[in-house]
Structure 1
Amino acid sequence: MRTIFLALVAGCLACACQTATTDADRPLQAPRGYLNETLLNIAYGLGSLDLIESTPAVPENLEAFTDIPYKTIDGLELQLDIYRKNGLQEPAPTLIFVHGGAWKKGKRQDYLPYLIDYAEKGYVTATLSYRLSGVATFPAAAQDVNCGIKWIKQHADAYGVDPDRLALIGGSAGGHLSLLLGYGGEEPLFNRDCEQGPDSRVKAIVDLYGPVDLTTPYAISTEQVQRFMGSSYEQDPEMYRLASPRTFITADDPPTLIFQGTIDSLVPVSQSDSLQRWLQQAGVPNEYHRLKGWPHTMDRAREVNDYCQFYIDRFLERYL
């Protein structure tokens, strides 16, 4: 039986982006979860768990700008894609999606469903590639994402981007990088190799099950984290601290929306619990959806996707 929820998948946010059909003034109830991942996978195998379409066609009412180079380093050209409505007249709020995949795999195109859906809602949407851990270790990925944000701001006029209304959205490893740059984008370590230009500050962050503290006993013992870091915690604890979004949390950080499943076996729910606590202590506006009985990449399930989209829409309307 194919186990789709047990890998730290590239798409993490790859979801159909369906609009919830619930009255806007009434909270949407979280979908009923599962006792454990085994039962969830049985449900999937029996066909009772409906998954979203991950590779939709780009509709004719959208413009797609693909394979745009934004950075070249060590002979590697990094690219991004941008989507917007045809005939966009005014600069629009912009969503930048950062793909997941345990920092070792994944591709920017995994976000196509979200990119299409939110472009149709009137946003400009963007997704970018970054160096994976098999190519370069931390801080390479963080530097690339930071450079990508700056590039989008610098070229805002060409694509209808409102540079003052940007949000970062990511799941799993992409959630980690979104949090890290959303809170710590001004850290000098993350600003190397970028062209001179605007800063990388954003107005909002949406995090789906992204790790926030890479210094916990669980995190420092995992192979994915060690590969991403390029060293063990004992060898370089300071770099692990700098790779942890929690290090950079301050009162002026962007409002943050968090989604996490309680049976996530890859990113423990304690990571998101702690993130919400630290944001509360710092006075950062936040909203936390702790979904009982759902695992990693839970938003591939249609009913979870509907739930997440319902609250993402309202969060963006409020803060972007």
Structure 2
Amino acid sequence: MNIAYGLGMLDLIESEPTVPEHIDAFRDITYKTIDGLELQLDIFRKKGLKEPAPTLIFVHGGAWKKGKRQDYLPYLIDYAEKGYVTATLSYRLSGVAKFPAAAQDVNCGIKWIKQHAAEYVIDPDRLALIGGSAGGHLSLLLGYGGEEPLFNQDCIQGVDSAVKVIVDFYGPVDLTTTYAISTEQVQSFMGTSYEQDSEMYRLASPSTFISPDDPPTLIFQGTIDSLVPVSQSDSLQRWLQQAGVPNEYHRLKGWPHTMDMAQEVNEYCQYYIDRFLQQYL
């Protein structure tokens, strides 16, 4: 499949679709200002939405050092069309601030959305976190460990960041593995080596926070992913099973990282996301 990607043999989704006229787009909303930096989010919903709707918060990937919130525009529009409110947020990248900055920002974004739910016809009790790669990692980390004091600084107090569902596309789960601690992306994200601060690597790992009361989790992972080993998602499912957390795992044979850019994989994933959200959100 990597060869097919390279040769342009696969139909890919439109990465920058036009927002339809019947979808309201609220862009560049500042949800947090820190060290002079304004962090922003975008919200999409069908025009005329009257009843508070379940809301999907998308967290972009990019190895924690690149990427932008607009990367998820195809999903944001598709799921707004399906009647959800959708949101996507920016967070501090590793070139700006090291862990736990990104986790703190995502947590603040969730809290902001809950606090401003009424303004955007959002049901604050029906939120899902969805992310791919580094965004999958942050979705899992905050979905499982959002109450960790380290992640609850510099933002709204008195509002929790609990969500009902997590959808994880090939997100790293355990940053303490030999492979993880040796990669440049993880070291850059952490700003220190595992030998210097193993406790911070433990706190940066979603696996640390898995417990029986965690949100139902849907996992997608390609078996030939060269960035995030399939063993990470294999382990995640095993740990969720052991904890008794409802989960569903789609282990896609012969697909690489960012596999959902391919039209057929995207349609497959959306089918199972729809089904999972109907069941748990």
For residues 199-253 of structure 1, the C-alpha deviation after alignment (integer angstroms, 9 at most, x for no partner) is 0000000000000000000000000000000000000000000000000000000
* Between 172-181 and 299-308, the greater mean CA deviation after superposition: 299-308
Structure 2: which amino acid aligns with 1:265? Answer: S
Partners of 1:98 and 1:128 within 8 A in 2: yes
Matched residue type, 1:173 = A
Shift of 1:195: 1.6
CA distance in 1, matches of 2:155, 2:212: 26
| Superposed counterparts of 1:1-320, under 5 Å | 34=1, 37=2, 39-41=3-5, 44-45=6-7, 47-320=8-281
Q: Give the distance between the partners of 1:242 and 1:264, measured in 2 at CA.
A: 24
Instruction: Give 4+ residue runs of structure 1 displaced > 4 Å after superposition.
Output: none
Percent of pairs identical after alignment? 85
Structure with more contact order per residue of length (Cα contacts < 8 Å, sep ≥ 6): 1
Contact 1:147/1:194 (<8 A) preserved: yes
Separation in structure 2 between the aligned mates of residue 115 and residue 106 of structure 1, nearest angstrom = 16
For structure 2, list consecutive stretches of 5 or more residues without a partner in the other structure.
none
Q: Look up the equivalent residue of 2:32 and give its one-letter code.
A: K
TM-score normalized by the length of structure 2: 0.99
CA-CA distance at 1:49 after TM superposition:
1.0
Amino acid at match of 1:75: G
Structure 1: 5+ residue stretches without partners: 1-33
The answer (yes or no) to whether the contact 1:98–1:127 under 8 Å persists in 2 is yes
Shift of 1:257: 0.1
In 2, Cα distance between equivalents of 1:307 and 1:111: 17
Q: Secondary structure at the match of 1:167?
A: strand
How many residue pairs were aligned? 281
Question: Over aligned residues, Cα RMSD in angstroms?
Answer: 0.7
TM-score, normalised on structure 1?
A: 0.87
Query: What is the letter of the counterpart of residue 184 of structure 1?
Result: G
